[in-house]
Structures are given as structure tokens and as C-alpha cells.
Amino acid sequence: MKLGFLTAPFPATPLLEVANWARSEGFAALEIACWPVTAGGARRYAGTSHIDVASLSEAEGKEIVLSLAERGIEISALGYYPNPLHPDVQHRDTVVAHLKKVITAAGKMGVGLVNTFCGGDAAKNVDDNWKEAEKLWPAIIAHARDAGVKLAFENCPMIFSDDEWPGGHNIAYSPRIWRRIVEAWNGEVGINYDPSHLVWQMIDPTRFIREFGPHIRHVHGKDMMIDRDGLYERGILSEGIGWQVPRLPGLGEVDWGSVFAALYRAGYDGPVIIEHEDRNFEGSDELGRPIIINGRSVIYHNKTYQLDYRFESATSSTLLTSIAIYKPVPLNEAPKIIPLGAGAICTIKIV
């Protein structure tokens, strides 16, 4: 397995600079965010465009691959996660057109995988959404086949806010639907497996691997904390809104030892890509770097860390220049920052 991260949290940093930092910290792979250049932050953690796929030539694509390879970095996939089953037909057509451009770009680059969402209309039930998926996806799959590219759907329900309630914006989240996907498009659509989304749904992450392991093409390293007060306040019928809290590996409830043991048993030897969606460590490209490093350590050592501290880097250097007490806090609050002198040495307690 090669460890890397999704480039989406670094919208202000050019791709080669991201790659330089990745290699300096021991990462070996990147999933490259490929939203439209003009998209902006249309959705949280969306809108980053490290490759302009709309204008990419084959020569430019090969040069990107070569430049990353010279830095010891492999491209695990191109990533674009819209809602291809959006109820607004114009929106649907726009995102599907761009998804096809991402697929075409992957083919030009020799990148064999594009990660995306199956999509979903939150106002429809799963069965009705599946009927729409059966109409929409064959043409996209054929486009990918012609480009020599495979597809992977992430198993995220995409229900984080009221506008995504009650059905979410991606139906490819449960074993029930994944059996249909495998039956319909086996060999052409695989799974971008993220255990965090299974935790709050009370779906056993390792049982999912046991059943669908041969269809896993890509793995996202993300954790999930259940906010018990939020769950008490809202109940399970809120579908996770207000109590599912995305975290970096080691800060949530995923049993990483069991997950990796199951992946090994399933024969998975592909990329593991840290997906940073932890709101306690967002706000700038710099703030995301140290917590991604911590996620790397958790995955490398196959154990869960209980953090007493959160680190920040004040410059592009990896030197830790400040420290903050880390405690679970409401989403609208931030941990308290305690400045330290440059080069100060801190410790992390492992329990």
C-alpha cells in the first residue's frame, strides 16, 4: 500500500509544491482534486482545481505525471465529487460534462482511476434514485471505457446539512446498493472505500470489506467522531446532521487496526489516501499540514493516538512553532492556541 492524501485542502498551493511537501514528509501518492477552475468553494472541501482538465493536452498531462514521478509521487486517482443525479437538470448536465472531462484527462495522463460520487436526489427514495442511476451512468461508464479509465464511487451518503436531508446526495453508501452496482457494472465501477461513513451509519466497516473487498479500488483514510450530545439532541432520524464529525485518522472511532487487517486479508494493496475534512484544522493550507502528518503516523503505526495537543506550522517549513490543547469542541468553536518559541519541543502521549 502507498500512503498519500487528497489535494483538495490545499487550494492556494500549486500542485508541484504540494508534491514537494508530500515527498518531504514521506508520502508516496496524491489524489488530485479536479473541480472546474471557476467552481470556487461551492461546497465545503470542494472547488480545488490542481489540474485544469478542460484545457489539458496529452503532452501537459504526461508532463504532470513525469514531474510527480521525479519527486517519488504516484497519482492514485483524479478526484471530482459532484452530484450527477442532482434534481436540477441543468446542474446535472454541467457536472456530468465536467466529470467526462476529468475522465478524458485521466486517459491522457495514463491515470487509471477517477473517483467520484454516484449521486442522488435527496427528495427521492433509494430505489427511485437507483432507476435514475441506471439511466445516467451507462453513458459515463462507456466514456471511461473508451478512455481506458476505471471509476470508483466513494461510499459517502453526502448528508451533512439540511439541504441534503433526508436522502443525501449519494446513494452508493450501503451494502444493499453496492450489490446492485456490482451486479450492474462489475469491473467498471469499483469502491473508493472510506470507513468513516460506515461508522455513523452503524455499518460494520470490516464486514463491508469482507463482502466487497475484491471491488475496492481506492481507500480514503478519514475518521469519524460521534458527537454524543448532538446525537442526544437530534436523534438518529436527523441522519447524522449535527452529530457526525469528520476527523483525521486517530481522532475518531474507526478501529484502524481492524480495518487494515481486513484490507490485507482481502488482498488490497492499493493507495490509502488521507482525506482532510477536520474542521478543527482548516482555514488555511498551512493549518492542514501538521494534522495530515499525524494521520500519516496513525496509519503507518497501525494504532490510534489520543492527542493531547494540536500542532500548527507557521511557515511552509515542517518546524512546529506553536501548540494547542486538543479537546473535542462544538463545530463553531476552535481549540485554544498556546504560542511557543520557534523550535520548541513538544510531546504527544500515546494511550
pLDDT, residue 43, reads: 62
Q: Identify whether 135 is part of a domain.
A: yes
Of 308, 311, 296, the residue nearest 344 (C-alpha): 311
Classify residue 155: in a domain, yes or no. Answer: yes
Contacts made by residues 334-337, CB under 8 angstroms, sequence distance 24+:
334/280, 335/280, 335/310, 337/312
pLDDT at 161: 67
pLDDT number for residue 47 = 83
Is residue 293 within 8 Å of residue 320, measured between CB atoms? Answer: no
The answer to whether residues 313 and 288 touch, using CB atoms and an 8 Å cutoff, is no
Asked, for residue 298, whether it belongs to a domain, the answer is yes
Is residue 290 assigned to a domain? yes
Cα gap 8→50, rounded to integer Å: 8
Q: Does residue 286 sit within a domain?
A: yes
Grid coordinates representing 273?
Answer: 489516501
Report the DSSP beta bridge partners of residue 312: 322
Tell me how many degrees the CA angle 210-129-92 measures, rounded to the nearest 5. 110
Number of Cβ within 10 Å of residue 58's Cβ equals: 13
Task: Point out the residues of the chain with pLDDT beneath 50.
Answer: 303-351
**Within-domain flag for 329:** no
Structural domain includes residue 338: no
Q: Provide the number of structural domains found in the chain.
A: 1
| Cα 293 from Cα 287, distance rounded (Å) | 11
Q: How many CA atoms lie within 13 A of 302 on its CB side?
A: 9
Angle, alpha carbons 309-314-320 (nearest 5°): 45
Lookup: cell for 319: 518546524
In a domain, 334, yes or no: no
The pair phi, psi for residue 312, each rounded to 5°, is -130, 150
Per-residue CA distances from 248 to 106, 196, 204, 270, 330 (Å): 28, 10, 19, 20, 16
Predicted local distance difference test score (pLDDT) of residue 212: 98
At 196, which CATH number?
3.20.20.150
Grid cell digits, residue 121: 436526489
Give the DSSP per-residue string, 165-231: TTT-S--TTSHHHHHHHHHHHTTTEEEEE-THHHHHHT--HHHHHHHHGGGEEEEEE-EEEE-HHHH
pTM for the structure as a whole: 0.82
> What are the contacts of 126-134 at 24+ separation with CB within 8 A?
126/167, 126/171, 126/174, 126/176, 126/177, 129/85, 129/167, 129/171, 130/171, 130/177, 130/180, 132/85, 133/85, 133/171, 134/184
Q: What is the pLDDT of residue 300?
A: 63
Question: How much is the pLDDT for 291?
Answer: 59
Give me the domain span that covers residue 217: 2-304
What is the spatial order of strands in the sheet that 337-339 belongs to? 309-312, 322-325, 337-339
- Provide the pLDDT for residue 240: 82
Q: Round to whole Å and give the CA distance between 247 and 202.
A: 17
